Amino acid sequence: MSNAQLFKRFGLLVWPYRWYLLPAVVCMLVLAASEGAMAYLVKPILDKVFIEQNRAMYLSMPLIVILVFFVRGVANFFESYLMQLIGHKLARGIQVRLYGHLLTLELGYFLPYTTGSFISRIINDTFQLKAAATNVLTGIVNEGFTLIALVIVLFVQDWELALMALIGLPASAYLIYLFGRRMRRLSRRSQEMSEQVVTHLEETFSGLRVIKSFTMEKFEQAGFRHLTKKLLRNYLRTSVVNALSKPLINLITGVVVSGVILFGGDRVMDGQMTTGAFFSFLTALVMAYAPVRALITLNNTLQQGLAAAIRIFEVLDTKPRIADAPEARELPPFSREIRLEGVSFRYAPGLPEVLQGIDLVIRAGERVALVGRSGSGKTTLVNLIPRFFEVTGGSIRIDGVDIRQVRMKSLRRQMAMVTQETILFNDSVQNNIAYGWSREPQEVIERAAGAAQALDFIRELPEGFATRVGDRGIRLSGGQRQRLSIARSLLKDAPILILDEATSSLDSESELAVQQALDALMVGRTSLVIAHRLSTIRGADRIVVLKEGRIVEEGDHETLMAKKGEYSRLYSIQFREQAPARERIAEPPREGVGARVSEGEDR
- Whole-number percent of the chain with pLDDT over 90: 9
* pLDDT exceeds cutoff 50 at 28: yes
Q: Classify 338 as helix, strand or coil.
A: strand
Given a cut of 60, is residue 601 above it in pLDDT?
no
In a domain? residue 574: yes
Say what the pLDDT of residue 40 is.
66
Instruction: Tell whether 603 is covered by a domain.
Output: no
Domain boundaries, position 400: 337-578
Mean pLDDT for all residues in the chain: 78
Q: Are residues 197 and 344 in the same domain?
A: no
Task: Tell me: do 109 and 235 sit in the same domain.
Answer: yes
Instruction: Please list the alpha-helical segments (H only) found in 270-323.
Output: 275-316
Of 171-180, 215-224, 512-521, which has the strongest mean pLDDT?
215-224
- Provide the β-strand partners of residue 547: 550
Select from 285, 316, 347 the last residue of a domain.
316
Q: CA-to-CA distance for 226 and 543, rounded, in angstroms?
A: 51
Query: 10 Å Cβ neighbour count for 441?
Result: 9
- Amino acid (one-letter) located at 538: R
Give the residue among 107, 566, 569, 552 at the shortest CA–CA distance from 358: 552
| 598 within some domain | no
**pLDDT above 60 for 414:** yes
Which CATH number characterizes residue 32's domain? 1.20.1560.10
Average pLDDT over every residue of 463-471: 85
In a domain, 75, yes or no: yes
Q: What is the pLDDT of residue 338?
A: 93
What is the mean pLDDT of the segment spanning 284-297? 70
pLDDT of residue 363: 92
Q: Is residue 254 over pLDDT 50?
A: yes
Q: Residue 203 CA to chain centroid, in angstroms? A: 15
Residue 77 lies in a domain: yes
Q: Which residues pair with 557 in a beta bridge?
A: none
545 to each of 71, 370, 538, how far by Cα in Å?
A: 81, 6, 13
In terms of domains, do 539 and 413 share one? yes
61-66 average pLDDT score: 77
Q: For residue 507, what pLDDT band results from cuts at 50, 70 and 90?
A: low
Tell whether 312 and 342 lie within a shared domain.
no
Indicate whether 213 and 108 sit together in one domain: yes
Q: Predicted confidence band at 15 (pLDDT cuts at 50, 70, 90)? A: confident
Task: Of 22-36, 129-143, 330-344, 549-563, give the lowest mean pLDDT range.
Answer: 129-143
Q: What is the mean pLDDT of residues 287-310?
A: 72
| CA 127 – CA 91 distance, rounded (Å) | 7
Do 294 and 349 fall within a single domain? no
Least-confidence region, from 98-112, 459-473, 511-525: 511-525
Average of pLDDT values for 264-284? 71
Question: Which of 281, 316, 351 is a domain's end point?
Answer: 316
pLDDT at 345: 92
Residue 592's pLDDT is: 38
**Are 296 and 341 in the same domain?**
no
Give the residue-averaged pLDDT of 542-553. Answer: 90
- Residue at 128 is within a domain: yes
Q: Identity (one letter) of the amino acid at 582? A: R
* Rounded (10°) angle between helices 55-104 and 137-157: 150
Question: What's the CA gap between 211 and 221, in Å, rounded?
Answer: 11
Dump the DSSP string for 222-260. Answer: HHHHHHHHHHHHHHHHHHHHHHHHHHHHHHHHHHHHHHH
How many CB atoms are located within 10 Å of the residue 505 CB?
15
Please report, for the domain that includes residue 435, its CATH number.
Answer: 3.40.50.300
SS3 category, 331: coil
pLDDT in tens, 513-533: 667 777 777 888 898 988 777
Q: Do both 129 and 260 map to the same domain?
A: yes
Task: Specify if 463 maps to a domain.
Answer: yes
| 3-state DSSP assignment of residue 345 | strand
pLDDT in the model for residue 446? 86
Confidence of residue 402 (pLDDT cuts 50, 70, 90): very high
Q: Could you give the number of structural domains in the chain?
A: 2
Kind of pairing, strands 550-555 and 367-371?
A: unpaired
Domain shared by 55 and 146, yes or no: yes
What gap in Å lies between CA 598 and CA 590, rounded to an integer? Answer: 9
Asked if 265 and 343 sit in the same domain, the reply is no
Among 316, 351, 367, the domain-final residue is 316
**pLDDT exceeds cutoff 80 at 20:** yes
Q: What is the pLDDT of residue 583?
A: 42
More confident residue, 415 or 531: 415
Instruction: Provide the 8-state DSSP code for 364.
Output: T
Range among 252-256, 502-506, 561-565 rated most confident: 561-565
Rounded to an integer, what distance in angstroms lies between the CA atom of residue 436 and that of residue 488?
9
Question: What pLDDT shows up at residue 591?
Answer: 42
Residues 131 and 199 in one domain: yes
Instruction: Tell me, yes or no, whether 79 and 185 share the same domain.
Output: yes
* Mean pLDDT in residue range 344-356: 87
Q: Which helix (H) or strand (E) holds 527?
A: strand 526-530
> Between residues 328 and 241, which one has the greater pLDDT?
328
Is the pLDDT at 225 greater than 90? The verdict is no
- For residue 508, being part of any structural domain is answered with yes
Kindly tell me the burial class for residue 291, based on how many C-beta atoms sit within 10 Å of its own C-beta (0-12, 13-18, 19 or more): buried
pLDDT at 52: 63
